[in-house]
Amino acid sequence: MSDRRIIDPADEKQLELYIHIPFCAKKCNYCDFLSYPMNEQAHAEYVEKLCREIELGASLGEDREISTIFIGGGTPTILDPKHIAVIMASIMKNYVVRDDAEITIECNPASTIRYKFTAYKEAGVNRLSIGLQSANDQELRALGRIHIYEDFLKCYQNARMVGFKNINIDLMNDIPGQTEKSWSDTLKHVLMLKPEHVSIYNLIVEEGTPFMKMYEDGRLQLPDEETASKIDGITRSLTAKYGYERYEVSNFAKPGFECRHNYGYWSNVPYLGFGLGAASYFSGERWNVTRDFRDYMELEFGDEMRSGYPRLHTDRQILSRNEQMEEFMFLGMRRIEGVSETEFKLRFQVDIMSVFGDQMEKFLRQGLVIHEGYRYCFSERGMDVSNVILSQFLLD
């Protein structure tokens, strides 16, 4: 287990920004994200409102420095790139952005062409996250994706030709009809392209999606448990063979190209989220931006600021001490480096085993968690059932 730190959690000036673009060409069969199709006029009006919100939030970040920016969605690349430039200009005007800040935009292979990549680069974006999901066109159709593998190859090639040197590719396991061979083929195709980073997520059938309706009707044929386990083994083997290090449950990177933005989420770095439904975590408090598009677009941010953001910010929650300890565990344990006994004691003034000793002892005996030096982390076997284990770190 490496002690190399991807970020410095003791850096109290760092702040991350997340920008949500709630537009897409078509909802995928598995998607429960806040997104829907709209026209160019709606795009422009939303961006104008978004920039006003970004400006409004600057007072929270006035003593901070922006270490990462992530523009997600939805499909940010469905916007005319001039809108991305406007968003970036608003951030640069209202915040102190570090020279080495990691600035990512999510890309859909079907909506990103070469001139857009040039515009993103000129706007300051230095990292791309391309949502491929599968190199198998039949699996892409099952997911409801609007691109084919050839679209992705053109997208990736254009990004490289424009000069992007930090690219993530999103892939998905447990797709209907997926086999060990189809997954192995997908992963080989992707790793041979030598992206700097690969994210591999398991399909989750969410409420309210077409997949959930198919599942309830018995029409969704997912890989069985044995196949899913073998697919996990293929992932471990091939990523290691091609030189990728697993640094988090679902993420693999070439050394030095770990996603700093997401790593900050797992390491208690504060972040501000702007745009419809975006989440924030700042000074021990969490809140979400309203998910009501009409409400968001009708807000007068000056009045909203004076009255304490009751319509803009919903679900405000000041985390209790127990909730902070829970998050320390089920976010921190996602990292390969795990959690530090020393950091836990410095933060909460109590030993980690006096709080979570029962859970830790059980998982240590089962070989699902290992203890090295002053850190607790998942074993390889524990990583495969991490979601089950993480759910156990709850306090009454």
Q: Give the pLDDT score at 67.
A: 98
Helix (H, G, I), strand (E, B) or coil at 89: helix
Structure letter (DSSP) for residue 88:
H
Helix (H, G, I), strand (E, B) or coil at 264: helix
The CATH class given to the 14-266 domain equals: alpha beta
Transcribe 363-395 into DSSP letters. Answer: HHHTTSEEEETTEEEE-HHHHHTHHHHHTT---
> Where exactly are the structural domains of the chain?
14-266, 321-390
Q: Give the pLDDT score at 320.
A: 95
pLDDT tens by residue, the chain, 396 residues: 444 568 887 788 999 999 999 998 776 766 766 676 788 999 999 999 999 999 999 989 899 999 999 999 989 999 999 999 999 999 999 999 999 999 999 999 987 789 999 999 999 999 999 999 999 999 999 888 899 999 999 999 999 999 999 999 999 998 998 999 999 999 999 999 999 999 999 988 888 887 888 878 888 888 888 999 999 999 999 999 999 999 999 999 999 999 999 999 999 999 999 999 999 999 999 999 999 999 999 988 876 666 668 889 999 999 999 999 999 999 999 999 999 999 999 999 999 999 999 999 999 999 999 999 999 999 989 988 898 899 899 886
- Distance, in Å, from the CA atom of 107 to the CA atom of 116, rounded to the nearest integer, reads 10
Amino acid identity of 160?
R
Q: For the segment 186-200, what is each residue's pLDDT rounded down to a tens digit?
A: 999 999 999 999 999
Level-2 CATH architecture, domain 321-390:
Orthogonal Bundle (1.10)
Q: Give the pLDDT score at 256.
A: 95
To the nearest 10°, report the CA torsion of 386, 389, 390, 396.
170
3-state secondary structure 291-320: CCHHHHHHCCHHHHHHCCCCCCEEEEEECC
Q: For the segment 236-267, what is each residue's pLDDT rounded down to a tens digit?
A: 999 999 999 999 999 999 999 999 999 999 99
